[in-house]
Amino acid sequence: MTAPRKIIIDTDPGQDDAVAILLALASPDELDVLGLVAVAGNVPLALTEANARKVCEVAGRPDVKVFAGCDRPIAQPLLTAEHVHGATGLDGIDLPAPTMPLQAQHGVDFIIDTLRAEPPGTVTLCTLGALTNVATAFARAPDVVGRVAELVMMGGAYFEVGNITPAAEFNIYVDPEAAAAVFASGVKITVASLDVSHKALTSRDWVAGMRALGTRVGEVVAAWTDFFERFDTAKYGSEGAPLHDPLVIAWLLRPDLFTGRQVNVEIELEGRFTRGMTVADWWGVSGRAANAFWLGGLDRDGFYALLSERLARL
């Protein structure tokens, strides 16, 4: 039995973030969650940090360390997504205010200190929102970049185009400067973009299966899914909604569920209509060095079977 992989989850809950956190906490044999770091994104930081604590309490894990990170992007005002996630960011079911503590340390300092304290190459960063915290940590402490085992992120889009603009995916668009810095940092990156998350659509049967668990987690996940599905099914005309962020955790647990390609990814910063676009050189025509493993294929049914099996444990 190998030791669990140490991970830090950087997150902007967000119902799909919440499911990703539950999936990680349901997998202690494989994943050691060193901490959650909230970032401003889907909703402001005051809500994302509280939501992260609410999720831990839903999972029965008030021991998890939750930190507040950056409350705004590096170089532009904060853009939020209440239209998708609701005013609280976790609409769909009313959860009690969290009673577990928020850590006093700033989330960026937690990332830096943890990377310095743990042996090099043993901590994986999992980002589910804008890359503001990670980019800020790398800028403040360049020595930690080489200590990161790998960064697995939800963000970007290429074949699936954008979801917040015609060209850009939300996590990148919230803080393009942060994304550009991270992709230029040299850290080992795996990207779960809309290209793969749009293959991970929920279904009525799966949501019914969550409710049939008869557990608090099943009830809450079904309620969150019912809520955030309404926006995407209306927008895309699909039966279900893409469950984006849990794919980051699923990659760590079952990489065999995915296919992908090592490519060059650049972040557009100047384009009048394309700012925040992830320009993925899928066919290698640019001559630029590959800097990311871009996930493309997904065994959708295998993913949902994994998710159901793990969430049933909580």
Give the interface with ligand RIB as residue ranges (CB under 6 A): 12, 14, 16-17, 41-42, 128-129, 154, 163, 169-171, 244-245
Active site residue 83: no
3-state secondary structure the chain: CCCCEEEEEEECCCHHHHHHHHHHHCCCCCEEEEEEEECCCCCCHHHHHHHHHHHHHHCCCCCCCEEECCCCCCCCCCCCCHHHHCCCCCCCCCCCCCCCCCCCCCHHHHHHHHHHHCCCCCEEEEECCCCHHHHHHHHHCHHHHHHEEEEEEECCCCCCCCCCCCCCCHHHHHCHHHHHHHHCCCCCEEEECHHHHCCCECCHHHHHHHHHCCCHHHHHHHHHHHHHHHHHHHHHCCCCCECCCHHHHHHHHCHHHEEEEEECEEECCCCCCCCCCEEECCCCCCCCCCCEEEEEEECHHHHHHHHHHHHCCC
Is 17 an interacting residue with respect to Ca ion (CB under 5 A)? yes
In the complex with ligand RIB, which residue's Cβ is closer, 35 or 41? 41
Task: Please give the size of the binding site for Ca ion, defined by CB under 5 A.
Answer: 6
Shortest CB 14 distance to ligand RIB, Å: 4
Strand-pair partners of 298: 258
Is 35 an interacting residue with respect to Ca ion (CB under 5 A)? no
Is 129 an interacting residue with respect to Ca ion (CB under 5 A)? yes
Q: Burial, 104: exposed, middle or buried (Cβ in 10 Å; 0-12, 13-18, 19+)?
A: exposed
Among 83, 85, 198, 244, the one annotated catalytic: 244
Is 241 an interacting residue with respect to Ca ion (CB under 5 A)? no
In the complex with Ca ion, which residue's Cβ is closer, 136 or 197? 197
Q: Looking at 7, 8, 10, 14, which residue binds Ca ion (CB under 5 A)?
A: 14
When CB distances are held under 5 to 8 angstroms depending on the partner's kind, the choice from Ca ion, ligand RIB, none that residue 185 binds is none
Shortest CB 197 distance to ligand RIB, Å: 7
When CB distances are held under 5 to 8 angstroms depending on the partner's kind, the choice from ligand RIB, Ca ion, none that residue 225 binds is none
Stretch that binds Ca ion, among 91-99, 131-139, 192-200, 241-249 (CB under 5 A): 241-249
Shortest CB 270 distance to Ca ion, Å: 26
Shortest CB 13 distance to ligand RIB, Å: 8
When CB distances are held under 5 to 8 angstroms depending on the partner's kind, the choice from ligand RIB, Ca ion, none that residue 170 binds is ligand RIB
In the complex with ligand RIB, which residue's Cβ is closer, 123 or 247? 247
Is 58 an interacting residue with respect to Ca ion (CB under 5 A)? no
CA angle 72, 220, 253 (to 5 degrees): 75
Tokens, residue 206: 């799966």
Shortest CB 172 distance to Ca ion, Å: 12
In the complex with ligand RIB, which residue's Cβ is closer, 155 or 218? 155
- Please identify every residue annotated as catalytic: 244
Query: Which residues would be at the binding site for Ca ion (CB under 5 A)?
Result: 12, 14, 17, 128-129, 245
